[in-house]
Structure formats: C-alpha cells, structure tokens
C-alpha cells in the first residue's frame, strides 16, 4: 500500500497523516512534489484523474482519493480508536461537521489562497478583489465557530474526531497563508490550543 502526499503546509495530506497518527498506523508517505507539478503528470493522473493529493494506492492497484474517503477506509480496517463516531447520532453529527468545515471554513480559505496569494499567482488567473474578500468571509466563519464551540471540548461534542482533524488542518493552513485566528474568538482559540497539544498534531 502506498500513500502519496506532500509535507506541510499542504493541508489535505496532513489530514491523513494526523488520522493515521491517532490510529497508531505506521504508513510512510511517498512524497509528490507540488512545486514540480508531479501531481499533474500523466503517470500520477493514471492513479488520480483529478491530479490531486493525497491518494492511497492499495496492494491490488485500487486507488482511493479524497481525504475523508481515505480516512474512512482506515476507519473500517482499523476501527480503534473510532474517529467517525460509534452510534448513528455520533456518525451523523461528525459527517455534518466535516461538510460544514469544508464548505463554510475551507472554501473561503481556498478562495483566498487561489485568488489573493502571491504563491498561486503564476498558476492561474487571479481575481484579486474576490480573493481578498474571502478574508472577511473567513473571519465570519471564525465568529460562527466560536459560538458553536462554546461549552464543547471538540467540534462534534466530547470526543476528538475527524471533524477536529479537518478543522485543525484548515485553520493552520489559513494562518500560514496570512489568515490568522482572531484573538477575540476565545472558544475557537482554546479549542485550537487543546487539539494542537495532541502528539498527532505534529504529523
């Protein structure tokens, strides 16, 4: 089995590394150079037609892409500790939060990265005004998260889950591209400090 990925600050491969660390699964990451555009090569597109990482290649040649799908595979094959919930309610709430994080939090971060950051300027046509407007959208997402995290240890309740992994990788990437966590959002900052002390956060 081969896990194709890239080091920090790439947020999506980090999601899988954190997940594997929480599971205690040792699977070395095979690096794919984003700077050299190796993920867009014909050889890699034969494994993932979207030309994206991470991608997991199983021993029989089956390739699984998308971070949550890869992590669901490992959840099914290595169920302890559970990171997608154990009851129908827990599983539904964690799925709900994963989608909320991807659409409400990651979307403005991704738009800012694509359209307002100097590192992506040579890769695509940027719409600067649109890109920069996403900084305020992301701040609004932080405000919403701060309310939602009031009285909760973790995103989906009392237990650390894939939802926390998705949010941690997103806010850390946002900070790296110039969108920091605002000090006024104390619940969100406390959550971030809490999950960042877990050994898996260094993955």
For 10-27, write each residue's pLDDT tens digit. 999 999 999 999 999 999
**Can you give the CATH number for the domain in which 48 is found?**
3.40.30.10
Question: Are residues 60 and 100 located together in one domain of the fold?
Answer: no
Question: Are residues 73 and 99 located together in one domain of the fold?
Answer: no
- What pTM was estimated for this model as a whole? 0.94
| Distance set, CA 173 to CA 27, 113, 152 (Å) | 23, 10, 23
Question: Are residues 54 and 104 located together in one domain of the fold?
Answer: no
Residue 82 in any domain: the answer is no
Using CB atoms within 10 A of its CB, is residue 139 exposed (0-12), middle (13-18) or buried (19+)?
A: middle
Question: Are residues 94 and 194 located together in one domain of the fold?
Answer: yes
Question: In this structure, are residues 149 and 191 in contact, taking their beta carbons and an 8 Å threshold?
Answer: yes
Residue 83 in any domain: the answer is no
pLDDT band at residue 89 under the 50/70/90 scheme: very high
Question: Are residues 44 and 93 located together in one domain of the fold?
Answer: no
Give the model's pLDDT for residue 123. 77
Percentage with pLDDT > 70 across the chain? 100
Tokens representing residue 165 in the block: 């992994």
Q: Per the structure, how many domains does the chain have?
A: 2
**Can you give the CATH number for the domain in which 165 is found?**
1.20.1050.10
Question: Are residues 118 and 180 located together in one domain of the fold?
Answer: yes
Give the model's pLDDT for residue 87. 97
pLDDT over 80 at 28, yes or no: yes
Please state the rounded mean pLDDT for residues 167-187.
Answer: 96
pLDDT band at residue 82 under the 50/70/90 scheme: very high
Identify the domain boundary among 27, 51, 77.
77
Question: Are residues 72 and 120 located together in one domain of the fold?
Answer: no
Identify the domain boundary among 30, 51, 77.
77
Q: Which residue has the higher pLDDT, 113 or 171?
A: 171
Question: Are residues 42 and 121 located together in one domain of the fold?
Answer: no
**Tens of pLDDT, residues 91-144:** 999 999 999 999 999 999 998 988 888 888 877 888 989 999 999 999 999 999
Name the least confident of 117-126, 167-176, 191-200.
117-126
Question: Are residues 190 and 117 located together in one domain of the fold?
Answer: yes
Tokens representing residue 108 in the block: 């403005």
Question: Are residues 168 and 94 located together in one domain of the fold?
Answer: yes
How far is residue 93 CA from its own chain's centroid? 17
* Mean of per-residue pLDDT scores for the chain: 95
pLDDT over 90 at 180, yes or no: yes
Interatomic CA distance for residues 165 and 17, integer angstroms? 10
70 lies in which domain range? 2-77
DSSP state of 181: P
């Amino acid at each position: 089995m081969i896990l194709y990925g890239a080091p920090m600050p790439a947020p999506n491969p980090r999601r899988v590394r954190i997940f594997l660390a929480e599971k205690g699964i040792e699977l070395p990451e095979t690096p794919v150079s984003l700077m050299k555009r190796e993920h867009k090569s014909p050889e890699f597109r034969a494994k993932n037609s979207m030309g994206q990482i991470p991608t997991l290649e199983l021993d029989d040649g089956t390739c699984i892409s998308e971070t949550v799908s890869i992590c669901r595979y490992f959840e099914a094959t290595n169920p302890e500790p559970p990171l997608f919930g154990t009851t129908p309610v827990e599983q539904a709430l964690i799925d709900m939060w994963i989608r909320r994080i991807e659409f409400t939090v990651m979307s403005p971060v991704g738009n800012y990265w694509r359209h307002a950051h100097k590192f992506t300027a040579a890769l695509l046509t940027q719409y600067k005004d649109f890109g920069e407007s996403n900084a305020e959208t992301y701040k609004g997402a932080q405000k919403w998260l701060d309310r939602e995290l009031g009285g909760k240890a973790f995103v989906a309740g009392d237990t650390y889950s894939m939802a926390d992994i998705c949010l941690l990788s997103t806010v850390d990437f946002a900070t790296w591209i110039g969108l920091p966590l605002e000090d006024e959002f104390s619940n969100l900052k406390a959550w971030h400090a809490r999950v960042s002390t877990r050994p898996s956060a260094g993955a």
